[in-house]
Amino acid sequence: MTGPFDDMFGNTPFDLNHDGHIDGGEWAFINDTLFSDDSSSGIDEDDEIDDELEMAGLSRDDLEMMDSDERREALEDAGFDADDFEDEF
């Protein structure tokens, strides 16, 4: 039985088991590879924030344990705009 994507992708590098047919797993691979709308660079935004905090001598865990006034003061002392981190903690 042939599938709807066999004509388009069969017998290509996307036919991972080289059977001439595109099965569900191969279609998932094609979909993730070609049709993904993820335009990010692969770097998670939380990782970038954690890196910035670490360079300033702060950690996410410590900031989460602080009350909002202490957190605001620590961020401002480190040179950050505390309002930019309002939704983070």
Among 68, 73, 70, 51, CA closest to 60: 51
Q: What is the pLDDT of residues 7-61, one digit of tens each?
A: 666 667 778 888 888 888 888 888 888 777 655 555 567 788 888 899 899 998 9
pLDDT score at 49: 87
Which has more pLDDT, 31 or 82? 82
Average pLDDT over residues 3-8: 66
Please state, in angstroms and as integers, the Cα–Cα distance from residue 57 to each residue in 50, 52, 75, following that order: 10, 9, 10
Contact between 3 and 23 under an 8 Å Cβ cutoff? The reply is yes
- The domain locations on the chain are 1-39, 45-85
pTM above 0.75, yes or no: no
